[in-house]
Amino acid sequence: LKAEIIGYADASGSRDVNHSLALQRAESLTQELRHQGVDENQLQKRGEIEGDKQMGKKAAQFSRRVQVKVTLQ
């Protein structure tokens, strides 16, 4: 089992800050999974920025999330 944990942030604000927020979201879930007993060698995390600075507030909210992709090996 491998899990890729992807944290997302919207594009408002600076790119560095948003990338940091996205990574923090991914790290938060990664820590919880480790706490629940998942081997950290099975976990990979990354941060992504989604959308553009002109997107509306409601659309931006959907960009603030964590996605998990699980593959069986």
pLDDT tens, residue by residue, 27-49: 999 999 999 999 999 999 999 98
Whether 60 shows a pLDDT value over 70: the answer reads: no
* Residues in contact with 29: Cβ distance below 8 Å, sequence separation at least 6, in sequence order: 5, 7, 45, 66, 68
pLDDT of residue 32: 97
pLDDT of residue 67: 94
**CA atoms of 54 and 51, how far apart (whole Å):** 8
Tokens of 21: 């927020």
Whether 54 shows a pLDDT value over 70: the answer reads: no
